[in-house]
C-alpha cells in the first residue's frame, strides 16, 4: 500500500502545500487516538510515520521518534480550526471550527471571526494494488473488494497524531516555495531509508493473508 499525505495551509493570497509518500510502519490493532492504552483495540490500524507509535501517545511525539516512514524526514506524525486561545475545550471540539465542506480536498472557505487562526488541512491518497487477484473472480464480474471495518460493515477512516519535529511544519507553511514536491526548507530522505523504520509488534496477532475472521470481530 502507498499512502500520499497532503498537508496544505491556505492563508489569504499565499498558498503552501506538501505532497509526499509514506510507507508502512506497522499494521496492528492499536488505537492511541480513540482507545488510548487499550491493547488490543477494537480494530486494526495501518500505521505510517514515526516510530514513537504506541498504545498510548502523549506529549511531544516528534521529539520521541527516531525515524519515520515518510519522505519528509522531519515528519514524525502518525496520520487524524482553531480559536487561537484554547488548546482544548470541555467537549474537545469547540475550540476548533471545521471549514471543510466536501469529501475531496479543496480550498476551504474563510475562517469565522470566532476561530480566526487557519490550521493546515490534511488529506490522504491511498492506493491498493489488487491486480494480482484479478483471476480470482469471473471475467466481467464486479470487483468483490470492500473496505472492512470492525467486522460488521464497510468503511475506512484515518486518525492523525501530530509529530512534526520542532517548527518544521510551520517553516514549510511560511514558504510559498513549498508546494507539493518542492520544499527546500524541509529535509527529505530517500524512501529506501524510510522503509527501514519499524516498530515492534505489540499485539502479537496475525493481520495479513487469509484469515477466518477480521481481527476484533468478537469484541
- Cβ(216)–Cβ(55) below 8 Å: no
DSSP code at position 111: P
Q: What is the DSSP letter of 136?
A: G
Is the pLDDT at 14 greater than 50, yes or no? no
| Lowest-pLDDT range of 56-60, 110-114, 151-155, 215-219 | 151-155
- pTM equals 0.71
Over residues 162-219, the pLDDT tens digits come to: 888 888 877 777 776 666 666 767 788 899 999 999 999 999 998 887 777 777 766 5
Give the mean pLDDT of the chain. Answer: 76
Torsion of CA 119, 44, 127, 131, to 10 degrees: -170
Cα–Cα distance, 74 to 4 (Å, whole number): 16
27: cell is: 499494521
Q: What is the pLDDT of residue 98?
A: 73
Q: What is the pLDDT of residue 117?
A: 79
Amino acid at each position: 500500500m502507498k499512502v500520499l499525505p497532503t498537508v496544505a495551509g491556505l492563508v489569504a493570497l499565499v498558498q503552501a502545500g506538501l505532497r509526499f509518500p509514506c510507507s508502512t510502519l506497522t499494521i496492528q490493532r492499536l488505537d492511541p487516538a480513540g482507545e488510548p492504552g487499550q491493547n488490543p483495540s477494537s480494530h486494526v490500524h495501518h500505521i505510517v510515520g514515526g516510530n514513537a507509535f504506541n498504545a498510548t501517545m502523549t506529549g511531544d511525539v516528534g521529539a520521541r521518534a527516531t525515524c519515520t516512514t515518510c519522505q519528509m524526514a522531519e515528519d514524525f506524525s502518525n496520520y487524524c480550526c482553531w480559536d487561537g486561545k484554547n488548546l482544548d475545550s470541555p467537549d474537545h471540539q469547540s475550540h476548533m471550527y471545521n471549514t471543510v465542506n466536501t469529501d475531496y480536498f479543496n480550498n476551504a472557505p474563510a475562517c469565522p471571526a470566532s476561530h480566526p487562526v487557519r490550521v493546515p488541512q490534511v488529506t490522504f491518497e491511498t492506493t491498493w494494488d489488487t491486480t494480482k487477484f484479478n483471476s480470482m473472480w469471473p471475467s466481467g464480474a464486479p470487483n468483490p473488494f470492500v473496505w472492512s471495518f470492525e467486522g460488521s460493515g464497510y468503511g475506512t477512516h484515518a486518525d492523525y497524531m501530530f509529530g512534526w519535529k520542532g517548527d518544521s511544519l510551520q517553516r514549510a507553511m511560511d514558504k510559498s516555495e513549498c508546494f507539493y514536491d518542492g520544499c527546500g526548507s524541509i529535509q527529505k530522505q530517500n524512501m529506501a531509508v524510510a522503509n527501514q523504520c519499524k516498530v515492534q509488534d505489540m499485539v502479537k496477532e496475525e493481520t495479513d493473508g487469509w484469515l477466518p475472521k477480521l481481527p476484533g470481530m468478537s469484541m
